[in-house]
Amino acid sequence: MTPNQALPPCCQSRPRNNHLFENPMNSATIVQKLWNYCNVLRDDGMSYGDYVEQLTYLLFLKMADERSQPPWSQPSPIARGYDWPSLLAKDGDDLFDHYRHTLERLGAEKGTIGLIFGKAQNKFQDPAKLRRLVVDLIDCENWSAMGADVKGDAYEGLLEKNAQDTKSGAGQYFTPRPLIQAMVDCIAPKPGETICDPACGTGGFLFAAHNHVAEHNPNLTREQKKHLKEKALRGWELVQSTARLAAMNMMLHGIGSDKSVPIVVADALASDPGERFDVVLANPPFGKKSSTLITGAEGKVSTEKDVIERDDFWATTSNKQLNFVQHIKTLLKQHGRAAVVLPDNVLFEGGAGETIRKKLLHECDVHTLLRLPTGLFYAQGVKANVVFFERKPASETPWTKKLWIYDLRTNQHFTLKTNPLKREHLDEFVRLYNPANRHDRKPTWSAEADAATGTGPDGRWRAYDYAELIARDKASLDIFWLKDDALADSDNLPPPEVIAQELVDDLEAALEQFRLIAGDLAGAGADAG
C-alpha cells in the first residue's frame, strides 16, 4: 500500500459511538487493519515501536471518550479541550499542533494518564496521515464495546509484531505467549491471591494470570472479581515506553481502570518494596548491570560496577538474573510460588552464583526445572530455563528434597518463523508437572527401557535428589542426560537452516560471555591503573 492509496472503507455510515456492534471484527482482523496502516507510516520513517506508541495514545483518548457516554456515563479523566472530540474537530496543521500540545499536557498529569503519556512525543511527519489514523481507523470502531478478549488480543498481536522487528530491540521485552501460558497453567493462581512480575515488560504474565483465574473460576463473587481487577496484580518495569505499553495492555484486557493500573515505573532491584505476593511470574532481562566510568580530577578513569547491595540478598553481584532470583525470593510470601525464566549461566556460574544456588536450594523448595529449546526468543543466542520454586520458613535442614527436570531442548528445533513454539509442545511438561498435585509425579526416564512403566533412556522427565545436586561442582543445576541424535546419526540432522541458526545462537551466546569477561577485565585494569 502506498501513501496515496485509500484505506479500506470503514463503516462510517454507522453513527459514532454506537454501542451495538452489528459486525464485530475478531482480533486478527483488527490487527491486520491497524498494521496495514503502519506500512504507510513507515514510508515516513516511523518505526514499528513508534507506531504502537502513537496508537496507544489515541486509543486511550478514544476509549476515555466512549466511557464518558451512555451506557457507561463515567466522568472523563481527560481535561476538556484535550480530549478525543477536540482532536476530531481539527485538521491539517491545527490538528498537528493540538496533538503535540495534548501529549505535553497529559504527560504532566499523575496516575494512569501520566503513565500512558509520560514523555510522549508526536512521531507523525504528515498531518494528513495523523488525520486518517484518527478518523478512518480509531474513530471508526467502538473499542469500549468490544470484549476484553478481542481488543486485548488485538493489542497483544501488535506487540508481538513489534517484537518481531529485531532491529527495534522490542523483542527483549516479549516472552513467547505459549511459554507464558504453560508457566501460568503450572503455577495455577487462585482467586484472592496476589500476583507479581518484577520485570513485567508489556504485561504478558500479568494478564495471562488474570485470565487463568477468571477462566478456571467462572463463579467468582463480586468481591473476588473486584480484587482480581484492581488488587491482585502488580508489575514493575524500568523502561517508561515499555511501561506505557504494559499499562495499555492491562486496560484493554479489563485490568485496572483509567485512574489506576497495576504498573510501577521503577528499577525493581533498587530496593525491597515491602510488599509480599502469593505468586511471582517473571522473565528478567538478560545480561549484567552496566558499569559506570568515573573520571577523576586528574583525568584518571576508573570503573564502578553497578552492583546491587541489599541486606535481604545472599550475595552481591552485577549479574541481573542472579539479583532477580534473590529479589523474587524476597517478594514471595511464606509458601509463595515462583516461576522464573533464567539463562543457563544462572545454573552454573561460580562465585555469587554458587552461593545463591545453595541458599535457594536450602531456604526454598526448588522442585522443577524446564530446559527450554533454542529459537524461542527474539534476542539471539539465548539458552534459557524455567525454574519453579516455593519459599519456605527458616529451617536447619534444606527444603529442596527433589528437583524434577524436563528437557525440552535436546533434539528439539524451533525457529521464530518457520517452526515456532506452540502451546501443545508444552502439553507433556504441564501434564507431568501435575499442577493439581505436584507431589505426585512419575518419571519418564529410566536407565533401561521398561515397557510396563513406559519409561526408558529417552525419557525427558527425571528427578535428582538434593544430595546429588549439592555434590555437583559449584552446585551446578545445568543437568542433561539425553543423547543428541544429530551427533550419533547424520541421518537425523535437522534442516540446514536450523543448524545454521543454532550455530549463530551458540556464537552469539559465546560472544556475549566474552564481552562480559572483557568488560570485567577492562574495569579491573582501569581500577588498578
What DSSP line would sit under 160-177, residue for residue?
Answer: HHHHT-GGGTGGGG---H
CA torsion through residues 130, 263, 279, 405, sign: positive
Residue of 258 and 30 predicted with greater confidence: 30
Query: 378: pLDDT confidence band, cut at 50, 70 and 90?
Result: low
pLDDT at 38: 82
Phi, psi dihedrals of residue 339, rounded to the nearest 5°: -135, 120
Phi, psi dihedrals of residue 153, rounded to the nearest 5°: -65, -35
Which has the closest alpha carbon to 364: 406, 335, 324? 335
Which has the closest alpha carbon to 170: 51, 341, 339? 51
Give me the residue label for grid cell 504528515: 126
For residue 8, the one-letter residue type is: P
pLDDT at 7: 40
Interatomic CA distance for residues 229 and 365, integer angstroms? 30
Res 514 pLDDT > 50: yes
Query: 487: pLDDT confidence band, cut at 50, 70 and 90?
Result: low
Residue 499 neighbours by CB distance under 10 Å: 13
Res 158 pLDDT > 60: yes
Res 221 pLDDT > 80: yes
Which has the closest alpha carbon to 402: 356, 441, 432, 455? 441
The answer to whether residues 378 and 166 touch, using CB atoms and an 8 Å cutoff, is yes
C-alpha cell at 334: 511464606
pLDDT at 350: 93
Query: 410: pLDDT confidence band, cut at 50, 70 and 90?
Result: very high
pLDDT at 217: 97
Q: Is 405 exposed, middle or buried (0-12, 13-18, 19+ CB in 10 A)?
A: buried
Whole-Å CA distances, 160 to 35, 118, 254, 378: 12, 23, 19, 10
DSSP string for residues in 212-227: HHHHH-TT--HHHHHH
pLDDT at 407: 98
pLDDT at 165: 67
The answer to whether residues 317 and 354 touch, using CB atoms and an 8 Å cutoff, is no
Residue of 38 and 86 predicted with greater confidence: 86
Model-level pTM? Answer: 0.84
For residue 249, the one-letter residue type is: N
Average pLDDT for 394-399: 97
For residue 507, the one-letter residue type is: L
Report CA dihedral (208, 214, 217, 222) to the nearest 10 degrees.
Answer: 150
Interatomic CA distance for residues 123 and 116, integer angstroms? 16
Q: Is 368 exposed, middle or buried (0-12, 13-18, 19+ CB in 10 A)?
A: buried
Query: 23: pLDDT confidence band, cut at 50, 70 and 90?
Result: very low
DSSP string for residues in 5-54: SPPPP--TTSPTT--S-SSPPPHHHHHHHHHHHHHHHHTTT--HHHHHHH
pLDDT single digits (tens) 121-135: 999 999 999 999 999
CA torsion through residues 253, 255, 261, 262, sign: negative
Helix pair 148-163, 240-252: axis angle to 10 deg: 150
Average pLDDT for 167-192: 84
The answer to whether residues 262 and 235 touch, using CB atoms and an 8 Å cutoff, is yes
Res 278 pLDDT > 70: yes
C-alpha cell at 187: 503455577
pLDDT at 297: 43
Average pLDDT, the chain: 85
pLDDT at 527: 55
The lowest-confidence range among 140-149, 344-353, 426-435 is 140-149
Average pLDDT for 317-324: 93
Report CA dihedral (172, 178, 180, 184) to the nearest 10 degrees.
Answer: 180
Res 11 pLDDT > 70: no
End-to-end Cα, the chain, rounded Å: 59
Interatomic CA distance for residues 180 and 183, integer angstroms? 5
Average pLDDT for 50-54: 91
**370 - beta bridge partners?**
386, 406
pLDDT more than 70, % of the chain: 82
**Cis preceding-peptide flag for 71 (omega within 30 of 0):** yes
Cα 160 vs. chain centroid, distance in angstroms?
Answer: 11
pLDDT at 61: 94
The answer to whether residues 383 and 346 touch, using CB atoms and an 8 Å cutoff, is no
Average pLDDT for 379-407: 93
Res 303 pLDDT > 60: no
C-alpha cell at 317: 553481584
The answer to whether residues 296 and 261 touch, using CB atoms and an 8 Å cutoff, is no
Tell me whether strands 291-295 and 277-282 are parallel, antiparallel or unpaired: unpaired
pLDDT at 304: 45
The answer to whether residues 76 and 68 touch, using CB atoms and an 8 Å cutoff, is yes
Domains of the chain: 27-168 (1.20.1260.30), 170-490 (3.40.50.150)
DSSP string for residues in 402-471: EEEEEE-STT----SSSS---GGGGHHHHHHH-TT-TTS---SB-SS-BTTTTBBTT-SEEEEEHHHHHH
